[in-house]
Amino acid sequence: GAGVSQSPRYKVAKRGQDVALRCDPISGHVSLFWYQQALGQGPEFLTYFQNEAQLDKSGLPSDRFFAERPEGSVSTLKIQRTQQEDSAVYLCASSPIGGINQPQHFGDGTRLSIL
Amino acid sequence: SQQGEEDPQALSIQEGENATMNCSYKTSINNLQWYRQNSGRGLVHLILIRSNEREKHSGRLRVTLDTSKKSSSLLITASRAADTASYFCATDARNAGNMLTFGGGTRLMVKP
């Protein structure tokens, strides 16, 4: 079956531009997560949705980062006025239901480069 | 910030040898998970061990958990060149809303 799909796979933007990254979770998955992974590091949590509700956005590094999941399926991570330190791989993950003891299913990520 | 530390940061072994990776964490957890990441790809879930479990097996993988020491280990037996990847432990901490906190990873190279 289809896994988590992210687009674009690669994005190059000039500093100051806005970018939008898309995540299509596995159909029917309730929980959706965004992570940021710097080169050579482990992923770091950004935000979490359960259906359309954003239950945790404590990991978003600044108010330039905004995420939404308006219909409880596809999610978009938007970064405004990008800066060089935003360069990273942005990973999306989903899991079937809310609650503990659930593995997460990851997409291949969007590699964002800010020039 | 990342909760855990993984040890070693890099490991190079010959095909057929066993590979052991260790993970330490800081807070109380619901479970600990191990993931694998090939270069340029997303993370693939390998195994989940709950806080009340001490050992779990899946194929050539063996995971242990010691909650008193806040540590876990992943053993890959009879390694293959295709096992070359980065391996991450991740904790699902209590009262943290299902988010995962990852370690820095171990980069494993298995030489044919």
pLDDT digits over A58-81, tens only?
A: 999 999 999 999 999 999 999 999
Cβ A31 vs Cβ A72: under 8 Å:
no
Range 61-90 of A in CB contact (< 8 A) with B: none
Q: Which chain A residue has its CA at the smallest distance from B88's CA? A: A42
pLDDT digits over A9-58, tens only?
A: 999 999 999 999 999 999 999 999 999 999 999 999 999 999 999 999 99
Q: How far apart, in Å, do the first and last CA atoms of chain A sit?
A: 37
pLDDT digits over B11-22, tens only?
A: 999 999 999 999
pLDDT digits over B72-86, tens only?
A: 999 999 999 999 999
User: What are B5-11's contacts with CB under 8 Å, separation 24+?
Assistant: B5/B103, B5/B104, B6/B87, B6/B88, B6/B89, B6/B103, B6/B104, B6/B105, B6/B106, B7/B106, B8/B106, B9/B104, B9/B105, B9/B106, B9/B107, B10/B106, B10/B107, B10/B108, B10/B109, B11/B106, B11/B107, B11/B108, B11/B109
Which residues in chain A touch residue B33, judged by CB atoms under 8 angstroms apart? 103-104
Q: Which chain A residue has its CA at the smallest distance from B98's CA? A: A100
Which residues in chain B touch residue A31, judged by CB atoms under 8 angstroms apart? 98
* A84 three-state secondary structure: helix
Confidence of residue A1 (pLDDT cuts 50, 70, 90): low
Closest chain B C-alpha to A115 CA, distance in angstroms: 20
Q: Quick one: A14 exposed, middle or buried, by C-beta within 10 A (0-12, 13-18, 19+)?
A: exposed
**Which DSSP string do the residues of chain B spell out, in sequence order?**
----EEE-SEEEEETTS-EEEEEE--S-EEEEEEEEE-TTS-EEEEEEEETT--EEEETTEEEEEETTTTEEEEEE-S--GGG-EEEEEEEEETTSTT-EEE---EEEEEE-
pLDDT digits over B41-97, tens only?
A: 999 999 999 999 999 999 999 999 999 999 999 999 999 999 999 999 999 887 666
Which residues in chain B touch residue A33, judged by CB atoms under 8 angstroms apart? 98-100
Which residues in chain B touch residue A109, judged by CB atoms under 8 angstroms apart? 41-42
Range 93-112 of A in CB contact (< 8 A) with B: 93, 95, 98-109, 111
